[in-house]
Structure formats: structure tokens, C-alpha cells
Structure 1
Amino acid sequence: MARILLCDDEDAVRAFVKRAIEMDGHEVVLAIDGADGFDRLTAERGAFDLLLTDIRMPMMDGIALALSAARDYPDLTILLMTGYADQRERAAGLDALIHDVVTKPFSLAQIRAAVAEALSAAEETRLSA
């Protein structure tokens, strides 16, 4: 299954999303904010199938993380999450770099479906390359 880096500054969200994704057999590595996420991404040399990150976080937000990840690991699929309309608008200009933005709050089924769809699209891209 896939290896996923999950970045969110809220403990409850991290635990909920981790549990949801692991239900589908994926390995989940956690990060508490964008800076932690970038450190983990760098330490693992980008060895993830998906970066799933909240947009609004302290230290380094999800958009800065997405920009850095896309620059250093252009084949990494990126899925953003946010509960704020203004943050979703900020992400609109990143269409070439990110797969999608998932709006919070979401159900267990919704986040599982979003992750599955992002991974499926990434696989199709790899096969057609």
C-alpha cells in the first residue's frame, strides 16, 4: 500500500485521519506542522506516495510546505486540507502542484475517498509517463 506523510497541527485531526487512512492499509508518518513535515520529507528523501497536509499551521503552513515539497520532490502527490474558505482560495493558484483541497470537516469515508482518488490519479500519471 501507500506511504503517506500526514501534517496537521491538531492532535485530534491527526489521530482521526491517521486511523482512517490506516483502515485502507496505508503506512502513515505523522508531522505536527509544516516545518516538521518538511524535515521528515527531507530525512526520508521524499520517499512518500502522498503528502496530506493542513493549510493553516504554525511554523510553516501547508502552502509553503507544498511549494517546498513540489520544488524538491516534483513527483510527490500533494493533497491539502482546510476548514477555512480564505485558505482554500490561497491554494487555488497551486493547481499545477497539488492534486486537490479537501474541506474540513470531513467524514471518515470522505477523507478515505480523497486519499484513494489522489493515489489512483498519481498511479495513472506514473503509468502514462
Structure 2
Amino acid sequence: MARILLAEDDDGVRAFVSRALAHMGHDVVEAEDGGLAAEVMQEEQGRFDLLLSDIKMPVMDGIALALNVASAWPEVTIMLMTGFADQRERAHGLDQLIYDVIPKPFTLAQVLEKVDDALAGRPPEIISLARQAMIG
């Protein structure tokens, strides 16, 4: 499956998401803040399929991390998570660099579905339109 770098400062959320992704067969590397995630990305020379990062974190936030990763390794898919509306708005300015922003709180099914979609390269807006069409 995929190699995923998970950057999340909340221990509970990080453990929840990491276990779920590992259960799905992904190789997950965890970082507790953006600074550590940037170090891991550098040490691993960008050998990740996906960066899944919280936006609001100490040391380096998810926006700075996304900019750093996108400039050095543009082939890495980037997805952000946040529970703060103002942070979500900041991320929307990065539409060309990030795949999507997952609003918190999310369910296990929601995060796994978004990760699958991102790894498959399915555009988020097409997915939303397709789901709305199926619902009616």
C-alpha cells in the first residue's frame, strides 16, 4: 500500500488515525509536530506517497509544512486536517499544492475514504458531485 507521513500534535488523534491507516495496510510514520515532520521528510528524501498533516501545530504549522514539502517534493500528495474554520480558509489559498482539507472532527470512515481518494488521484470536487448525484 502507501507510505504516509502523519503530522498531528494531538496524541489521541494521531494514534487513532495512525492505527486506522496501518490497519488498512499503509506504512505510517508519525510526527508530533510540523518541525519533526519536516525533518523526517528530509531524512527520508521525500519518499512518501502522502503527507497527512494537522494545520494548527507547534513549531511549524501544517501550512508551512505543506509549502516546504510541495517545493522540495512536488510528487508527494498533501492533505491537511483542521478543526478551526479560520485555518481551513488559510489552506484554501493553497489549492494548487494540497489535495484537500479534512474538517475535524471526522469519523474513521471519512478519513480513510479521503486518504483512499487522495492516493487514487481522484479530484475532491468530482467526488463530491458524484456523491450528490447518487443521493439524488
What TM-score do the two structures reach when normalised by structure 2?
0.88
User: Which residue in the other structure is 1:127 paired with?
Assistant: none
* More relative contact order, 1 or 2 (CA 8 Å, 6+ apart): 1
Structure 1 runs (4+) deviating above 2 angstroms are none
CA distance in 2, matches of 1:111, 1:5: 14
User: Which residue in the other structure is 2:109 paired with?
Assistant: 109
User: Which residue in the other structure is 1:28 paired with?
Assistant: 28
**1:97-119, CA deviations, whole angstroms, 9 ceiling, x for partnerless residues?**
00000000000101100100000
* 1:20–1:111 Cα contact (<8 Å) kept: no
CA distance in 2, matches of 1:23, 1:103: 22
Is the radius of gyration larger for structure 1 or structure 2?
Answer: 2
Percent identity between the two aligned chains: 59
* 1:6–1:29 Cα contact (<8 Å) kept: yes
* Structure 1: runs of 5 or more not aligned: 123-129
Query: Within 5 Å, which residues of 2 pair with 1:1-129?
Result: 1-121=1-121
What TM-score do the two structures reach when normalised by structure 1?
0.93
* Structure 2: runs of 5 or more not aligned: 123-136
Post-superposition shift, 1:5? 0.1
CA distance in 2, matches of 1:86, 1:37: 23
Across the two proteins, how many residue pairs are aligned to each other?
122
CA distance in 2, matches of 1:27, 1:64: 24
**1:80-125, CA deviations, whole angstroms, 9 ceiling, x for partnerless residues?**
0000000000001100000000000000101100100000007xxx
